[in-house]
Chains A and B, each alone.
Chain A
Amino acid sequence: GAVVSQHPSRVICKSGTSVKIECRSLDFQATTMFWYRQFPKQSLMLMATSNEGSKATYEQGVEKDKFLINHASLTLSTLTVTSAHPEDSSFYICSALDRGWERSYGYTFGSGTRLTVV
């Protein structure tokens, strides 16, 4: 079945540093990848949509210079949190869209990354 590998699963970083999160589609080509953020006891909030080979589209209120998204290939999208601050601590999760996959109607989620900024 469709699998999306997300790494790292947990990361602790110092305030002011940058952190890169990777999502790879292992057995399908993901032309579109969605990035979400989830704070404790809240739902998933869409941050941005990345399409292979083009610039990401960010949701209102999401700083594109702080959350850098790269989707250079059909199987890899990365989210870099730049100059991280404690308020960026959250659960980040990606979702790859494979329009040819029927079981989950196309959306396959990564396992998520727990980011803690100290």
Chain B
Amino acid sequence: GQNIDQPTEMTATEGAIVQINCTYQTSGFNGLFWYQQHAGEAPTFLSYNVLDGLEEKGRFSSFLSRSKGYSYLLLKELQMKDSASYLCAVRDSSTDKLIFGTGTRLQVFP
């Protein structure tokens, strides 16, 4: 079975750094995705990790440890527009299904 957990809600201040964690237990693993989603809209692709380590892309970075079943998304220099839900999703190695985590609602305050 699949079990992908994230904190439900987080708050942070504009200009700060926030780390959103994702832990997973899956039967087959072929990469982990992070998406940003604003209410009523489609998810927007942020990052993809398939090997251990850190992937940096501007203000956003994503880390993966396959042995620990753990990933995090790091957001730097937070802006008000970063207030959104952040979803991690694991790709199943045999079916290519994307299974989403519980999602984290981030609120950025001035």
Count of chain B residues with a beta carbon within 8 Å of a chain A beta carbon:
21
Decide yes or no: A34 and B97 within 8 Å by CB, A41-B105, A44-B87, A105-B33 being known contacts. yes
Count of chain A residues with a beta carbon within 8 Å of a chain B beta carbon:
24
Which of A70-78, A79-87, A90-98 lies at the interface with chain B? Answer: A90-98
Q: Shortest Cβ distance from B8 into chain A, in angstroms?
A: 9
CB-contacts of B77-110 with A (<8 A): 85, 87, 89, 95-103, 105
| Alpha-carbon gap, A97 to B98, bound state (A) | 10
Contact of A32 among B33, B85, B96, B100 (CB under 8 A): B96
Q: What A residues does B41 contact at CB under 8 A?
A: 111-112
| Alpha-carbon gap, A34 to B85, bound state (A) | 21
Contact yes or no, B100 A110, CB < 8 A: no
Contact yes or no, B45 A104, CB < 8 A: yes
Q: What A residues does B99 contact at CB under 8 A?
A: 46
Q: What B residues does A32 contact at CB under 8 A?
A: 96
Tell me whether chain A's interface is mostly helix, strand or loop, or mixed: strand
Q: Shortest Cβ distance from A78 into chain B, in angstroms?
A: 18
Cβ contacts A19-58/B at 8 Å (1 or 0 each): 0000000000000101010000111111001000000000
Report B's interface with A, CB cutoff 8 A. Answer: 31, 33, 40-43, 45, 48, 85, 87, 89, 95-103, 105
Interchain residue pairs with CB less than 8 A apart (15): A43-B100, A44-B87, A44-B89, A45-B100, A46-B97, A49-B95, A91-B40, A103-B45, A105-B33, A105-B45, A106-B96, A110-B42, A111-B42, A112-B40, A114-B40
Task: Please give me the 8 A-B residue pairs with the lowest Cβ-Cβ distance, nearest first.
Answer: A43-B103, A104-B45, A109-B42, A44-B100, A105-B48, A43-B100, A111-B42, A43-B102
Report A's interface with B, CB cutoff 8 A. Answer: 32, 34, 36, 41-46, 49, 91, 93, 95, 97, 103-107, 109-112, 114
